Structure 1
């Protein structure tokens, strides 16, 4: 059986650490994406999140915009926020038919109990809806710094099962991690991932440049480790929370630390300070380091 492509450019040798990056947006960011589009390479994967309070039509419209602008849409499906089978399959059908979606990302979602029939991402995989719709790749979450509701052993067991289940259904698994500030934690997690025999490609979550208080607020909301020593390593001083911070030191550490033992890895940017600001930072970083991505 042929292995589906994670992304059209995945097998191309990257020109540098930022080459082949992906981005994340919400349905409300469509105008921001259009503004930043001239600075984004063609076929860049753009994930469209599944947030509470957003209209399905707005998510579909954002996904269509990603495709129309020449990028690769990857809509999110939040299992516990899906109200019914019709809700799930209707949204999937809409993005496939109207935006040519071939890749999706699945999360369990924040609610402790589901509002509909799907308790977790495994329940979505088990429906068979993704492969019936022609989806080639499914992204799942990775948690290098642990998960607030699961033990380390449970995290590995769940991840191993999802990767195996996606592969068994003829689709390609992709792991996209939570963002973080500590490159050492990510590099160690990647080595353990490979030692466990999981060879799925990984996108490492990187926070785009943003105000320091905003970064720390997202970290607290997402359960991301932000100790004084980790923040100092990232370039943030807890005695001065004014101003903004970019991921220069973090990305430098990945550029220097990633090797063959870490497997296939690219970066995924969470644009907390805005899409254009994030993409401009990537362009500046590339010019500074001679990366012709």
Structure 2
């Protein structure tokens, strides 16, 4: 009996102490609306092209997209889709983009590792040859692949946008270790780094990626002003497309399926009334 009382007392202390030890969290993502959201949302091709340019000139230095092929860029609803080229492998824009990248390959005659210009059938290459090299180039942190980053994060578009635009100077009393940056939208626990009032630990966390976007860091071909917010919104749209390039087709199929089911329900109900109209219930 005594053992049970002691065990229950210990459990009560653990439960009561839990909230006092809990800390951390992150700011809720910023409220940003995107054209592709909702059941009838569509990708803006001009925005996808701008987003690709941000990825190519900024993000691709550290992040790969090894689930996306260059030919996907020229598929229907893609950034560089052109109805004149139903086969995206024939799209000159796609072929020119692929040729800008170098792909590791094997010489079929000598077996040596060689580099060649990518073709439309190749996938986006990783910027690093392996994980240790990626970590060595980023202070020990491993840059995530961006192929499905939007689908892999809760509130994906808003979350990634908030991270890209949410870098802030650390509040007084927060000790930031070298190679780390404070971002209130990054989930973390800053208790161990906070020297202020322990009841007011700032939310957010540290991120190893320095602020990637700078005003006018890229030049958009359509003349759109390249603010940090604009670049972030465009690259998020591009990454959303990369995460689900068949999204528009899926929505269209879903709408057609709903219309079909409504019509089928009407026909079934009309048949029911016709067959059983003279039968007493």
TM-score, normalised to structure 2's length? 0.23
Structure whose CA Rg is larger? 2
Q: Please give the TM-score of this superposition, normalised by the length of structure 1.
A: 0.22
Q: Which has the bigger relative contact order, CA under 8 A and spacing at least 6?
A: 2
Structure (1 or 2) with the greater strand fraction: 1
